[in-house]
Amino acid sequence: MKKAALEQSPVSYYADFVLYPAALLGGLAVLLVRAPALTWEMPLAAVIGFFAWSLVEYVLHRFVLHGPQPFKRWHLEHHDRPTALIGAPTLGSMALFVVIAYLPLYWVLGPWLALAATLGLAVGYFSYLVVHHGVHHWKARPGSWFAARKREHAIHHMPGIEGWYGVTTPFWDKVFSTQRRGRSGRPENG
């Protein structure tokens, strides 16, 4: 039996960079045209969703991608071949946003605030997609924010390193002490 893997064709891999912006613009258009009234709560829900993404990213990376099988095996394949086109299928990740974010929020907040929060969360995810692709495929200007992201993600990919799970931000690694440096400036295990 063939093992499932997440390596994609270039067309499938780069679909994220087309379909997510289209879906985000479509969702924003629905919100602007169909919502009965745009209130201050909608942009606030979107901003909260955007910032919530960083915690979701950290938790998924630390406890799912470095946790149970088959996710750990799939993610280790990415660690072994960091420039390979490995990622979640676009339609699968979009379906998860509907099922895990929008629908529960719909029951709690109603359709419009749920849509705004889900759009914010999806903008955060799209930001992650761009940054994660970039840290593996683009050059960075020394001293830039992107160079720091690239350097810290490279540390995460070093054999034996547990930590440095944040891709778009080191914030949660600092909060949960999974971003550590020894006296020499080198990362410590743990």
- Please state, in angstroms and as integers, the Cα–Cα distance from residue 74 to each residue in 71, 93, 97, 99, following that order: 5, 15, 21, 22
pLDDT for the residue numbered 95: 97
Distance between CA atoms of residues 148 and 75, nearest Å: 22
**Residue 98 burial (CB count, 10 A):** 11
pLDDT for the residue numbered 42: 96
pLDDT for the residue numbered 5: 60
- Cβ–Cβ < 8 Å for 42, 35: yes
- Cβ–Cβ < 8 Å for 86, 78: yes
Read off φ and ψ for residue 130, nearest 5 degrees: -65, -50
pLDDT (tens digit, 0 to 9) for every residue of the chain, 190 residues total? 445 567 899 999 999 999 999 999 999 999 999 999 888 999 999 999 999 999 999 999 999 999 999 999 989 999 999 999 999 999 999 999 999 999 999 999 999 999 999 999 999 999 999 999 999 999 999 999 999 999 999 999 998 888 999 999 999 999 999 997 533 345 454 3
Contacts of 170 (CB under 8 A, 6+ apart): 148, 152, 164, 179
Residue 29 belongs to what H/E stretch? helix 10-34
Distance between CA atoms of residues 132 and 54, nearest Å: 13
